[in-house]
Amino acid sequence: MKTKDFSTDIPTLGEAKIISPLKRNTKAEEPLRRFVSDEARIIVNVQMDHLKGNLKKIISFDQAGPREKIYFDPSKLKCAIVTCGGLCPGLNDIIRSMVLELHHIYNVKTIYGIRHGLQGFIPDFEHDVMDLNPDTVSGIQNTGGSMLGSSRGTQDIGMIVDCLERMNVGILFLVGGDGTLMAAKKIADKIKKRHLKISVIAIPKTIDNDIYLVSRSFGFDTAVDVATLAIKGAHNEAEAYPNGIGLIKLMGRHSGFLAATAALAQQDANFVLIPEVDISLYGKTGFLQALEDRIIHRKHAVIIVAEGAGQNLFDDQENQFDPSGNVVLRDIGLFLKDKISQWFKAKDIPVSLKYIDPSYIIRSLPANANDSVFCGFLGRDAVHAGMAGKTKLLVSFWNNHYVHVPMDASAGKRKNMDPQGRLWQSVLEATGQDAFFTD
């Protein structure tokens, strides 16, 4: 990571002059222990060789948490919450934590829920606006999906800001992935250009865990949990039949974090295929020959493939794009299923191949306990940041701390797994797949 490539400064709408309601409810002898100073910083790179340099040049993030003084007057403040993009475990937990923090701790009584993502700001779609309060969010953490709904695709930024002005919104909370972060950045820029006092706070969301400068995204822990069940099922199916093969496709458009972590959590996989490492199908060191060697030696095999793996095998096909402008990935799971079947049929080796794709089951499930707790921290810290008048930031978990990351530093960039790093090397050791890719 090149820390010189980005600034960690967080913009503010103005000086925070209002005593926080949290301070009024805090014991006089312990006021400072509850609050975080704007001078509190979390170092970005904690490796020793980095720390030996000039201390003034060490890059650090703004530590998240409640401030003693806030910018907005809660009695007059209106907030809006919107969830965008694909579904993910924990969306309802995020919504609930923000609503409860705004209502009970900061005494904000007007909280709008924008329906169906960024479409909810555009009059032509005619989506209703929800009034959010403790009653409306009661129990939503036990259900999957998003109570606000979602949508994909870009919308007119000017019309979104027009809507925020009409509704007199002071803080906009956006929950979404890389496309949402790009939209949030453009919204914040348009707001600044119009000289409006509207805070824009983002909470990054992706099962793929691939958002830049975010070490862990909510929903990932739940996804790993459920993915391990698919691996167990695939392993049981493969072992039960002669020459059994279990093939599981997991999420991971551009990064293999889920496939790799699930493989380590449930060490039944023999091959893990990720986007960061191109797949070679044929030849003495190709995947299909390695799979045949495994079947001959052990009579069964389990394969995990990330959805973005092997796209190099489709280079001869023209790219297509979804409504959000993302390249539509070719279905590597079904492609491999067909190629494996063809390979063993040509070799006259009978196999029993079972294909499992749990992707949309995982996306729409409620968060597990770890993710639910994590979402609570993210939601509350998003509220603290917005109330303090900070803007154009995303709440991140970094070096075991919750921090503010400027949108300019993260939006439009992606975190990938290092094929030479410890996570992938651990996968290679746990699966032993390298032993089959030999001459």
- The 10s digit of each residue's pLDDT in 400-417 is 999 999 999 999 999 999
| pLDDT of 51 over the 90 cut | no
- Identify the weakest region by mean pLDDT among 49-53, 63-67, 372-376: 49-53
What pairing do the DSSP bridges indicate for beta strands 393-398 and 401-406?
A: antiparallel
Q: pLDDT tens digit string along 340-370?
A: 999 999 999 999 999 999 998 999 999 999 9
Question: Taking the alpha carbons of 116, 121, 122, 124 in that order, is the dihedral positive or negative?
Answer: positive
Whole-angstrom Cα distance, residue 169 to residue 78? 5
- Identify the weakest region by mean pLDDT among 37-41, 51-55, 175-179, 221-225: 51-55
Whole-angstrom Cα distance, residue 383 to residue 172? 10
* CB of 183 closer than 8 Å to CB of 211: no
- pLDDT score recorded for residue 184: 98
Across the range 94-114, mean pLDDT stands at 98
| pLDDT of 49 over the 90 cut | no
- pLDDT score recorded for residue 96: 98
- pLDDT score recorded for residue 250: 97
Question: Taking the alpha carbons of 421, 427, 432, 436 in that order, is the dihedral positive or negative?
Answer: negative
Spell out the residues 6+ positions from residue 5 whose beta carbon is closer than 8 angstroms to its own: none
Closest by Cα among 109, 107, 130 to 120:
130
Active site residue 5: no
- pLDDT score recorded for residue 54: 60
Across the range 50-56, mean pLDDT stands at 60
Across the range 265-292, mean pLDDT stands at 95
The SS3 assignment for 248 reads: strand
- pLDDT score recorded for residue 258: 97
| pLDDT of 233 over the 60 cut | yes
- Quickly count: other Cβ atoms within 10 Å of residue 11's Cβ: 16
Alpha helices in 108-219 (DSSP H): 157-167, 178-193
- pLDDT score recorded for residue 22: 84
Residue 281's region, left for phi above 0, alpha for psi from -120 to 50, else beta, is alpha
Q: pLDDT tens digit string along 363-403?
A: 999 999 999 999 999 999 999 999 999 999 999 999 999 99
- pLDDT score recorded for residue 1: 59
Whole-angstrom Cα distance, residue 194 to residue 196? 6
At residue 353, what are phi and psi to the nearest 5 degrees? -105, 125
For 133-152, b where at least 16 C-beta lie within 10 A, e where not — what string? beeebeebbeebbbbbbbbb
- pLDDT score recorded for residue 145: 95
Across the range 4-15, mean pLDDT stands at 87
Across the range 248-252, mean pLDDT stands at 97
Query: What is the side-by-side order of every strand in the sheet holding 110-114?
Result: 41-43, 60-63, 401-406, 393-398, 199-204, 171-176, 78-83, 110-114, 129-131
Whole-angstrom Cα distance, residue 300 to residue 380? 48
Across the range 233-240, mean pLDDT stands at 97
Across the range 301-305, mean pLDDT stands at 98
- Using 50, 70 and 90 to split pLDDT, how confident is the model at 50? low
- pLDDT score recorded for residue 24: 72
Please name the residue that has the structure tokens 């909510």: 218
| pLDDT of 329 over the 90 cut | no
| pLDDT of 29 over the 70 cut | no
- pLDDT score recorded for residue 237: 97
- pLDDT score recorded for residue 234: 97
Whole-angstrom Cα distance, residue 268 to residue 235? 6
Closest by Cα among 303, 376, 401 to 93:
376
Closest by Cα among 302, 271, 298, 297 to 286:
271
* CB of 353 closer than 8 Å to CB of 72: no
| pLDDT of 231 over the 70 cut | yes
Instruction: Please pick, among 208, 210, 221, 225, the residue that the annotation labels catalytic.
Output: 208
Please name the residue that has the structure tokens 């870009």: 154
Across the range 238-243, mean pLDDT stands at 97
Q: pLDDT tens digit string along 106-160?
A: 999 999 999 999 999 999 999 999 999 999 999 999 999 999 999 998 999 999 9
Q: How far is CA 25 from the centre of its chain?
A: 34
What mean pLDDT is reported for the chain?
93
The pLDDT > 70 percentage for the chain reads 93
| pLDDT of 187 over the 90 cut | yes
Terminal C-alpha separation, the chain = 35
- Using 50, 70 and 90 to split pLDDT, how confident is the model at 309? very high
- Using 50, 70 and 90 to split pLDDT, how confident is the model at 52? low
Q: Which two tokens stand for residue 32?
A: 């400072």
Give, in order, the Cα–Cα distances in Å from 195 to each of 13, 80, 161, 192, 198: 10, 19, 12, 5, 9
- pLDDT score recorded for residue 32: 57
The SS3 assignment for 309 reads: coil
- pLDDT score recorded for residue 170: 98
- Using 50, 70 and 90 to split pLDDT, how confident is the model at 435? confident
Q: Give the residue, 184 or 323, on which the prediction is more confident.
A: 184
Tally the C-alpha atoms within 13 A of residue 378's C-alpha that lie toward its C-beta. Answer: 34
At residue 91, what are phi and psi to the nearest 5 degrees? -60, -45
- pLDDT score recorded for residue 28: 58
Whole-angstrom Cα distance, residue 382 to residue 64? 8
